[in-house]
């Protein structure tokens, strides 16, 4: 793909300049704009051709190995691949990554807002929402669904093949294929002008930059210090998540330095956020959070109504801290003194780390589990049932489409 075309698709004004500094990496990003996920796309094409299973049968086969032998050809190939981890995958390292991630699980959960805002600056992230009519509708449901998926995918052990995090990641991968099929079938998408919907490049950057490198930058800004072993384990976990999600293996980070390099290159692009980005950010700030003090419904709603103006300003101000000034202005993120709350929080973080180091908070395992239990309770997930693999339709019904 020519640099001019890649620049037009992505909205990056300085594509040529970044390419001059990182030619191989940027050329790979350009090529990925025209690549989808052939294994998942084949499953959806098979389903709509009449030669495949219905959606309910497909999702059932993800969780029930006994059904896979009877699956139609494309689905059998797909499941055969996602059920066979690559040679580099080590479940013990991935589990260690989950433990490290969840030592600060409450904070990491809050970085989801930064991850979403990160994506909104690129046309390729926003256009599928526009084309499917989901631009500003169901913002709260989309935030909760994404938070539930991230929680299951990063919880220690739940991303192992057959686990709840793994099965939801596989399901979301197929949902992305459904979106691509829908957009193409109804002539709502022009690949030549916009690239393939939910393509390899945007999937790569979502995993490596949006869900891995950005939360680590936010954590460092708050004063959280991960060891090198922690960072490599967390990277291994997200590399595995990305692989299951369908990102090509050579586009995934082999280590944390590799992830940071990809993030730095992505941040060098001077983006022109689409007009829809401002609408998405406004919807996120207006409807992307809830005050939950555990009070009876009407009383809790009243508290949320009262606290909403302050929380909106707080989320907006803090989120702007990690967005380029020009991009933030284009997306309607205002600058206020509240963004300086981050440095003020560092002594609290350091005190917590000191308490952890001397053992006051218990073992790292117990800290991670306590944080995980707190977040899952706020998300309406039953952790004890999930961990014991009693993961039934009641839980699955709460995980709405993330795409």
Q: What is the pLDDT along the chain (403 residues), one digit of tens a residue?
A: 888 999 999 989 999 999 999 999 999 999 999 999 999 999 999 999 988 899 999 999 999 999 998 999 999 999 999 999 999 999 999 999 999 999 998 888 888 888 888 888 888 888 887 777 666 677 888 888 999 999 999 999 999 999 999 999 999 999 999 999 999 998 889 999 999 999 999 999 999 999 999 999 999 999 999 999 999 999 999 999 999 999 999 999 999 999 999 999 999 999 888 888 888 888 888 887 777 766 677 887 787 788 888 888 888 888 888 888 888 888 888 888 888 888 999 999 999 989 999 999 999 999 999 999 999 988 888 888 887 765 554 455 444 444 4
**CA dist list (Å): 78 to 42, 212, 286:** 8, 26, 39
| DSSP 3-state of 269 | coil
How many whole angstroms separate alpha carbon 312 and alpha carbon 130? 24
Crossing angle of helices 3-10 and 123-131, in 10° steps, is: 60
Domain assignment present for residue 218? The answer is yes
pTM check: above 0.85: yes
Phi-psi region at 278: left, alpha or beta (left = phi > 0; alpha = psi -120 to 50): alpha
Domain assignment present for residue 186? The answer is yes
Q: Count of residues for the chain?
A: 403
How many whole angstroms separate alpha carbon 312 and alpha carbon 336? 12
How many whole angstroms separate alpha carbon 81 and alpha carbon 300? 46
Domain assignment of residue 368, given as a range: 85-273+363-398
Domain assignment present for residue 245? The answer is yes
**Phi, psi angles (nearest 5°) of residue 250:** -75, -5
Are 102 and 371 in contact by the 8 Å Cβ rule? The answer is yes
Burial 144-174 (b: 16+ CB within 10 A, else e): bbbbbbbbbbbbbebbbbebbbbbbbbbbbb
Question: How would DSSP label each residue in 30-70?
Answer: HHHTT---HHHHHHHHHHHHTSS--HHHHHHHHH-GGGGGG
Crossing angle of helices 55-63 and 73-82, in 10° steps, is: 30
Domain assignment present for residue 327? The answer is no
Domain assignment present for residue 291? The answer is no
Domain assignment present for residue 2? The answer is no
How many whole angstroms separate alpha carbon 250 and alpha carbon 192? 24
**Phi, psi angles (nearest 5°) of residue 370:** -65, -45
Are 234 and 207 in contact by the 8 Å Cβ rule? The answer is no
| 8-state DSSP, 225 | -
Give the chain's domain count.
1
Are 201 and 33 in contact by the 8 Å Cβ rule? The answer is yes
Domain assignment present for residue 65? The answer is no
How many whole angstroms separate alpha carbon 64 and alpha carbon 228? 38
Domain assignment present for residue 1? The answer is no
pLDDT score recorded for residue 398: 45
How many whole angstroms separate alpha carbon 200 and alpha carbon 100? 28
The alpha-helical segments, DSSP class H, found in 155-195 are 164-185, 191-194
């Amino acid at each position: 793909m020519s640099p001019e075309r890649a620049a037009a698709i992505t909205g990056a004004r300085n594509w040529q300049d970044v390419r001059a500094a990182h030619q191989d990496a940027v050329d790979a990003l350009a090529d990925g704009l025209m690549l989808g996920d052939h294994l998942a796309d084949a499953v959806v094409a098979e389903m709509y051709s009449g030669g495949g299973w219905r959606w309910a049968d497909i999702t059932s086969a993800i969780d029930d190995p006994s059904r896979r032998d009877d699956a139609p050809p494309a689905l059998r190939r797909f499941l055969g691949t996602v059920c066979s981890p690559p040679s580099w995958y080590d479940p013990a390292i991935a589990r260690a990554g989950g433990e490290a991630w969840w030592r600060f699980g409450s904070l990491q959960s809050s970085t989801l807002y930064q991850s979403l805002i990160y994506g909104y600056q690129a046309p390729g992230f926003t256009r599928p929402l526009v084309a499917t009519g989901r631009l500003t509708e169901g913002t709260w449901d989309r935030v909760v669904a994404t938070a539930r998926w991230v929680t299951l995918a990063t919880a220690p052990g739940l991303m192992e093949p057959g686990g709840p995090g793994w099965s939801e990641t596989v399901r979301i991968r197929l949902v992305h294929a459904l979106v691509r099929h829908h957009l193409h079938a109804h002539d709502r998408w022009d690949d030549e002008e916009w690239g393939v919907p939910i393509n390899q490049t945007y999937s790569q950057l979502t995993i490596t930059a949006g869900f891995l490198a950005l939360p680590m930058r936010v954590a460092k800004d708050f004063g959280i210090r991960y060891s090198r072993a922690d960072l490599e384990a967390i990277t291994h976990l997200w590399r595995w998540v990305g692989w299951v999600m369908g990102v090509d293996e050579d586009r995934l980070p082999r280590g944390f330095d590799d992830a940071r390099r990809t993030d730095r290159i992505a941040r060098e692009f001077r983006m022109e956020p689409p007009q829809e980005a401002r609408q998405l950010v406004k919807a996120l700030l207006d409807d992307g959070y809830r005050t939950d003090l555990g009070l009876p419904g009407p009383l809790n709603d009243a508290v949320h109504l009262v606290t909403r103006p302050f929380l909106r300003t707080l989320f907006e101000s803090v989120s702007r801290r990690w967005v380029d000034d020009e991009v933030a202005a284009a997306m309607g993120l205002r600058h206020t003194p509240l963004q300086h709350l981050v440095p003020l929080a560092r002594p609290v973080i350091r005190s917590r780390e000191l308490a952890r180091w001397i053992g006051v908070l218990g073992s790292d395992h117990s800290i991670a589990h306590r944080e995980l239990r707190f977040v899952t309770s706020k998300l309406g997930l039953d952790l004890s049932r999930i961990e014991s693999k009693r993961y039934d339709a009641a839980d699955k019904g709460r995980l709405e489409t993330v795409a």
